[in-house]
């Protein structure tokens, strides 16, 4: 009976890991730039165990990089790279990450930052700084320009080019380093991408709430089935012990 208990325990643990991923997907269904987690499962034969017993386990978590639904906004600094490309940003510790959360704003020193507050980098790996009193815009080629809001006739009138958004595609394994932040995993890479950029659009999470809700119900039932099997094997083991007990 012990082998059956171990198989049930492994199944319950694997479903528990999957349930955590599905719950995270559901919680972030409306989070701009969020990419859904997809656990990978594997069965293995335990050394010294019964040869006819396979033990399931969640061995890795991949991330679905497909585009999510979009929402149109009136903010021209809400940008969305085409063809699945990511914005390059810098974390507070100096590490580099990538995001599809293109809700751009300015921080206290005029640097362009993403919706998560990360500094946006240009195609040379440098922050994009907007001079005081100038209004930034992003053209379809990803070039950030600044214009004087007071009009062509005012002091400092004209338009200047501040830099080009650093855009990249993620190839191979990726790791999550924040709710909407990814980085290349072991064996992965970020490849510069020359793509167009749309303004006034925000991409939401690519795990729709209905899909995540249905997945949660399915996974919860599978978890309950594993726990029920574990309880059944435990009761059978106890009865077998009672039969063999000398009274």
Domain map of the chain by residue range? 2-65+207-244, 70-203
Q: Could you tell me the pLDDT band of residue 38, with boundaries at 50, 70 and 90?
A: confident
Mean pLDDT, range 158-186, rounded to an integer: 92
- Phi, psi dihedrals of residue 116, rounded to the nearest 5°: -90, 5
The span from the CA of 170 to the CA of 149, in Å, is 37
* 116 C-beta neighbours (distance < 10 Å), count: 18
Q: Could you tell me the pLDDT band of residue 51, with boundaries at 50, 70 and 90?
A: low
* DSSP state letter for 109: T
Q: What pLDDT score does 200 carry?
A: 95
Q: Is the pLDDT of residue 37 over 90?
A: no
The span from the CA of 14 to the CA of 223, in Å, is 8
Q: What pLDDT score does 155 carry?
A: 47
Mean pLDDT, range 113-141, rounded to an integer: 94
Q: What pLDDT score does 207 carry?
A: 84
Alpha carbon 27 to its chain centroid, in Å, reads 12
Q: What pLDDT score does 136 carry?
A: 92
* Whole-number average pLDDT of the chain: 82
**Angle subtended at Cα 107 by Cα 203 and Cα 145, rounded to the nearest 5 degrees:** 70
- The percentage of residues in the chain with a pLDDT greater than 90, rounded to a whole number, is 47
């Amino acid at each position: 009976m012990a082998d059956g208990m171990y198989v049930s325990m492994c199944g319950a643990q694997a479903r528990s890991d999957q349930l955590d991923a599905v719950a995270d997907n559901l919680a972030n269904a409306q989070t701009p730039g969020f990419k859904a987690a997809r656990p990978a499962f594997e069965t293995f034969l335990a050394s010294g165990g019964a040869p006819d017993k396979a033990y399931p386990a969640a061995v890795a978590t991949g991330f679905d990089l497909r585009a999510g639904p979009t929402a149109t906004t009136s903010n021209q600094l809400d940008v969305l790279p085409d063809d699945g490309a990511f914005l390059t940003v810098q974390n507070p510790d100096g590490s580099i990450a990538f995001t599809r959360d293109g809700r751009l704003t300015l921080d206290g020193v005029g640097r362009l930052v993403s919706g998560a507050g990360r500094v946006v980098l240009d195609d040379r790996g440098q922050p994009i700084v907007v001079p005081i009193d100038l209004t930034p815009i992003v053209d379809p080629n990803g070039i950030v320009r600044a214009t004087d809001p007071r009009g062509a006739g005012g002091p400092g009138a004209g338009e200047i080019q501040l830099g080009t958004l650093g855009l990249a595609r993620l190839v191979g394994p990726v790791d999550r380093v924040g709710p909407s932040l990814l980085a290349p995993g072991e064996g992965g890479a970020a490849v510069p991408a020359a793509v167009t950029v749309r303004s006034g659009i925000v991409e939401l999470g690519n795990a729709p709430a209905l899909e995540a809700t249905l997945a949660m119900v399915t996974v919860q039932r599978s978890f309950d089935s594993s726990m029920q099997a574990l309880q059944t094997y435990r009761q059978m083991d106890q009865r077998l012990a009672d039969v063999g007990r000398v009274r």
